[in-house]
Amino acid sequence: MKFAVIVFPGSNCDADMYHAIKDELGEEVDYVWHTEDNLDRYDGILLPGGFSYGDYLRCGALARFSTIMEQVVKAAEEGKPVLGICNGFQILLEAGLLPGAMRRNEQLSFICRNVKLKVENSQTPFTNLYTTGEVLSIPIAHGEGNYYCDDQTLAELKKENRILFTYHEENPNGSLENIAGIMNARGNVLGMMPHPERAVDALLGSEDGLKLFQSIVKSWRESHVVTA
């Protein structure tokens, strides 16, 4: 499986993502600059964390108009797995690939530490190697991770089991219903504020994030099995 790590001006977690895919997962991966206009050669698309375009206007608001985003939308429409982490999640929200919006953390300060996440749905391309109810240790690093959506959207997310991760025991940023990660209706786009790419090796303090990337590969390979 071949991944693209999209790099915007201000991205700062692209190297972490690249390391997770190449060195820990053992899959092919390229950095792809935001001005590129073709992602056809890639099987999975990754939008990393950082401060794209300095987070001017709103987080992700300018990156959403980068040339590459037309191709990210196209990849999502084709059913390819698309994962946005932290600033990547914010960009997916701004692009309309996921519902809702991000507000500033409730305490109006930047947070950078490990948190506990609960897996709410293990029957997805992103979580199939976890078990529902499993608790993970994953770092967060954001100033605007306070997820919000209207009542109708929240009801749809719950009904369709599209809330994949919630903060467990404590809510670090005021996010609605403790939401830490959501999926689109089709099931191939995931946005999450915590950083699984920073939790792929015990030397980093946790390897709980590695199963997320392994789940993507497992799902992709199962869907691309060639039968005689």
Q: Residue 29 and residue 25: Cα distance in Å, rounded?
A: 10
Of 187, 81, 166, 197, residue with least CA distance to 124: 187
The answer to whether residue 197 is catalytic is yes
The answer to whether residue 24 is catalytic is no
The answer to whether residue 168 is catalytic is no
- In a 3-state reduction of DSSP, which class is residue 201? strand
Q: Residue 68 and residue 28: Cα distance in Å, rounded?
A: 20
Number of neighbours of residue 210 by Cβ within 10 angstroms: 18
Residue from 27, 120, 144, 197 carrying the catalytic annotation? 197
Q: Residue 63 and residue 72: Cα distance in Å, rounded?
A: 12
Residue from 27, 86, 149, 168 carrying the catalytic annotation? 86
Q: How far is CA 63 from CA 107, 177, 184, in A?
A: 26, 27, 20
Whole-number CA gyration radius for the chain = 16
The catalytic residues are: 86, 195, 197
